[in-house]
Amino acid sequence: MLSGIINLKKEAGMTSHDAVFKLRKILHEKKIGHGGTLDPDVVGVLPIAVGKATRVIEYMTDSGKVYEGEITLGYSTTTEDASGSVLERTPVPIDVTEVVIDQAMASFIGQITQIPPMYSAVKVNGRKLYEYARAGEAVERPKRQVTITDFKRTSPLLSDGDCLRFNFRVACSKGTYVRTLAVDLGAKLGLASHMSALCRKASAGLDLSSAQSLGEIAELVERGDWSFLLPIEYGVLDLPRHDVTDEEATELSHGRFVQLDRTEDLLAAFHDNQVLAILERRHGIYKPKKVLL
């Protein structure tokens, strides 16, 4: 059975589920999952776990993300991105300068509260928000706390009729809706806005510069080249690492507790440079949450 991590470059026009479905056909492997959903219009890094590596996918999903994209000030959309219908228009006044925008963006650094967009997969009372939206039904959306570590404009302002467009970069925690961030930035400026383009540049320790598309992976498989399949260790890059002794490795492989001089709640236990287990701290000692070897 195949096992490992794939740094997939997801293309526009497909869901994360679509990408997994196509990979199952290319690899002839059923046990495949993705770490961190991307909207159909969003391109970029989609971490994929194959075989035994699916056991660490939750730790890839929990990691921070880096995105680059474009924000348009001047009108909002039903979906908060370019795929939706125009909801509201507010011509951008001349006094909205680069300095004003940069100051507003800087105010989002740190922990902020977001309300997920109606066109999202967040569930309320057992139904996804986009199901309410498509049915024209209103529902109270749950607030969530997310962390923004970087949010900067990366291009000059481009005038487009009554609108302004500019590129941006954001580094954020799990669960952040970047399109909502674009809308909230506009609201801070007193303007309707939306996210007009987005690319995920990095996720779970994987970078877009080394990602491969479905077409590229299919070509490699045809040639018998499996170099795109990364070791399972890539799935635990964001967890603190602890190298265990031979004796500790034996204990852990049998599911027993070990005493370690660490304080983290979760650890990736390594032995001979291979990830042996995910350890969970309980009452000052560590027990295997998942044994991987």
List phi, psi (to 5°) of 166.
-160, 155
* Within this chain, domains 4-62+205-235 and 239-291 share the same CATH topology: no
Please state which architecture CATH assigns to domain 4-62+205-235: 2-Layer Sandwich (3.30)
- Do 190 and 92 contact (CB within 8 A), yes or no? no
pLDDT band at 270 (very low <50, low <70, confident <90, very high): very high
Using CA atoms, how far residue 30 sits from 24, 114, 236, 262, in Å, is 6, 36, 22, 37
Position 232 scores a pLDDT of 94
Of 18, 39, 81, 243, the active-site residue reads: 39
Residue 240 has pLDDT above 90, yes or no: yes
Residue 63 has pLDDT above 80, yes or no: no
pLDDT in tens, 92-141: 998 999 999 999 999 999 999 998 887 777 788 888 877 877 888 888 88
Position 148 scores a pLDDT of 97
**Lowest mean per-residue pLDDT among 11-20, 46-55, 125-134:** 125-134
Residue 183 has pLDDT above 80, yes or no: yes
pLDDT band at 49 (very low <50, low <70, confident <90, very high): very high
What tokens were used for 138?
Answer: 């209103």
Position 172 scores a pLDDT of 95
Q: What is the mean pLDDT of residues 41-57?
A: 93
**Lowest mean per-residue pLDDT among 213-222, 231-240, 270-279:** 231-240
Of all residues in the chain, the percent with pLDDT exceeding 90 is 77
- d(CA 277, CA 268) in angstroms, rounded, equals 6
pTM for the structure as a whole:
0.88
Q: What is the mean pLDDT of residues 20-41?
A: 92
Average pLDDT over all residues of the chain: 93
Domain layout of the chain by residue ranges: 4-62+205-235, 65-203, 239-291
Fold of 239-291: 2.30.130
- d(CA 213, CA 10) in angstroms, rounded, equals 6
39 is catalytic: yes
Does domain 65-203 fall into CATH 3.40.190.10? no
